[in-house]
A and B are shown apart, each in its own frame.
Chain A
Amino acid sequence: MGSFIKKNGPGTGVASRQHRQESFEQAPMYVAVMTYLGFGIVTLFGYFRDFLRAVGIEKCHLAQEREEQKDFVPLYQDFENFYTRNLYMRVRDNWNRPVCSLPGPVFDLMERVSDDYNWTFRLTGKTIHNAINMGSYNYLGFAENNTDFLKTVADKLCQYGVGVCSTRQEIGNLGIHEELEQLVASFLRVESSMIFGMGFATNSMNIPALVGKGCLILSDEVNHTSLILGARLSGATIRVFKHNNMHSLEKMLSEAVCSGQPRTHRPWKKILIMVEGIYSMEGSVVRLPEIIALKKKYKAYLYLDEAHSIGAVGQTGRGVTELFNVNPADVDVMMGTFTKSFGAAGGYIAGKKELVDYLRSHSHSAVYASAMSPPVTEQIIRAMKCIMGNNGSTEGIRRIRQLAENTRYFRARLKEMGFIIYGNDDSPVVPILLYMPGKVVAFAREMLERKIGVVVVGFPATPISEARARFCLSAAHTRAMLNQVLHHLNEVGDGLCLKFSRLKYSSCPDLHEETDSELGS
């Protein structure tokens, strides 16, 4: 059996120095067995408790049908409700924790306790101060409340107010929106761009405007819900290819081009390949040069969702197109969000001028959704100008370099300690695999006791046997903070037996060099 590593090698004809291997190491067999055992035991107890509730020995705290409706089709018997009632509710103190400060590198949490095993909570009134924040998507540290930096935002707030009270199409098209759109287009080096008020809505409302019935969407296995929702709303045929697997994608493309639509065999009106720059649950980076080569060969279109990668990867923060040295004009639709690296809210779609002009009048989000709020727009403008280095300031470049250095250091130290980490060495999203449901919960609680806030994800968002804790690094984290987090991770990892990795990783003394890691088992 041995340890199995899937390696995605470097792309064709690109400077491989930036390209490191991605590894998705599999855990030993006993870990999978024990994960399923744990889930089995909790499921059995779930059935037992449901029986007690049905018989009436225990009071049901969740929604229930009324007596008169007991003979109708059951509403709460499906697996999702069972899972929520019996697994999620038991341990839900690890999610939705109330935060009462800005989500910077350290933050404050409100302490809450439960007297009846997490059915209800009450706040004790105490605050946990200065917990280290390893869960916010604050990649470049722009979630800050320094009054000097926010001066322009305060000015715009006084000038425009907070609400726009209209949609872009009616009377909500402010000058500041146009300024931001030109800035985004010049940042991404494309012809033109359009911004929207909400990142999720950018995907789900614009894909229906681009494709419709008679089109084919080839989407990656682990795409985000917003992409999947947009694809389903559009009414196009959706086919899923294996995650980052170019053979699977090529097979689907050639089959689509040869056979055409399912029954009539007419050619597809459009073939759209939907991928993300960095996949947030896996930490892996898309293989852009190969996808562009495939897209040109089979005459398909490419939709690139750079929610997590814009601002966070690349030499000057321009995303995966810069990371792989690819011409931005090759990507047909570039989409991204401002929630992550820019510390604001909203999304953009960028590309050729005809595309963006079409979306201005045909996209649901442009026509019906309220426009972006002016202070938020100004925050994005100032963040983007900072990254681009206007006025000769080097603050942006410093942050990007700091993020890259933090990423390299953190990932290398975690691998050295023996945790199983997924994803590319360049990605600031670091998932640590925890597998067993009991350990997932214990991990979150232990880290909170040590004043470190982490995000743990379990079944519906990840495969059932691969629960993980997801760390999001930030340029605002100092080396001291990272060392503290690593120290606690080491202790918790030993205390909970989380170090499943069977690969030996030796880091060279100077972690700034990029020599190859020794992967032996």
Chain B
Amino acid sequence: MALSDFWKQLSWFYYQYILVTALYMLEPWERMVFNSLLVSVAGMAVYTGYVFMPQHIMAILHYFEVVQ
């Protein structure tokens, strides 16, 4: 029950996303192209953050002389 509600909510959000970005007007393969581009760019950003965040935090703390 909760899962089907969750899917309904998710598909409503997807519908809103499609409307706002005007992907609603495009053909399905174009939507797939755009979505994969978006997901790949977002994935790359998340991955970069994951790899470099510890270094950045250590550098900030070092600058503020919290750690040596």
Contact = CB atoms under 8 A, between A and B. Distances in A.
Given A41-B34, A45-B30, A87 B19 contact: no
Nearest to A496: B19
B34 A438 contact: no
A176 interface: no
Interface stretch (A32-40, A210-218, A246-254, A356-364): A32-40
A439 B17 CA distance: 11
Contacts of A37: 20-22
Given A90-B25, A437-B25, A438-B25, A38 B20 contact: yes
B39 to A, nearest CB: 15
Question: Which of B19, B26, B27, B34 has the most CB atoms of chain A within a 10 A radius of its CB?
Answer: B19
A138 B24 CA distance: 32
B26 to A, nearest CB: 6
Contacts, number: 47
Contacts of A34: 20-21
A45 B26 contact: yes
B16 interface: yes
Contacts of B22: 37-39, 41-42, 436-438
Contacts of B24: 438, 441-442
A41 B17 CA distance: 13
B25 A87 contact: yes
B18 interface: yes
A497 interface: yes
A39 B24 CA distance: 12
Interface in A304-321: none
B26 A42 contact: yes
A38 B25 CA distance: 10
Interface in B1-41: 16, 18-27, 30, 34
A38 B21 contact: yes
A42 B25 contact: yes
Contacts of B27: 90, 117
B19 A442 contact: yes
A301 to B, nearest CB: 46
Nearest to B12: A495
A91 interface: yes
A438 to B, nearest CB: 4
A497 B21 contact: no
A37 B19 CA distance: 11
Nearest to B27: A117
Nearest to A39: B22
B51 to A, nearest CB: 30
Contact of B19 (A90, A117, A436): A436
A439 B19 contact: yes
Contacts of A438: 18-25
B23 A41 contact: yes
Contacts of B30: 45
B19 to A, nearest CB: 4
A81 B35 CA distance: 27
A87 B26 CA distance: 9
A90 B25 CA distance: 6
A34 B20 CA distance: 6
Contacts of A117: 27
Contacts of B19: 436, 438-439, 442, 496-497
A34 B21 CA distance: 7
Interface in A472-521: 496-497
Interface string B28-63: 001000100000000000000000000000000000
A442 B25 CA distance: 9
Interface in A218-241: none
A38 B22 CA distance: 5
Contacts of A90: 25-27
B57 to A, nearest CB: 32
A117 B27 CA distance: 8
A387 to B, nearest CB: 43
Contacts of A42: 22, 25-26
Contact of B21 (A41, A87, A441, A496): A41
Interface string A414-444: 0000000000000000000000111101100
A117 B25 CA distance: 10
Interface string A105-144: 0000000000001000000000000000000000000000
Nearest to B17: A438
Nearest to A117: B27
Interface string A79-92: 00000000100110
Given A37-B22, A90-B25, 12 more contacts: A34-B20, A38-B21, A39-B22, A45-B34, A90-B27, A117-B27, A437-B22, A437-B25, A438-B20, A438-B25, A439-B20, A441-B24
Q: Which 6 A-B pairs have the closest CB atoms?
A: A38-B22, A438-B24, A438-B19, A438-B22, A42-B22, A437-B22
Interface of A: 34, 37-39, 41-42, 45, 87, 90-91, 117, 436-439, 441-442, 496-497
22 contacts: A34-B20, A37-B22, A38-B20, A38-B21, A38-B22, A41-B22, A41-B34, A45-B30, A90-B25, A91-B25, A117-B27, A436-B22, A437-B22, A437-B25, A438-B18, A438-B20, A438-B22, A439-B19, A442-B19, A442-B24, A496-B19, A497-B19
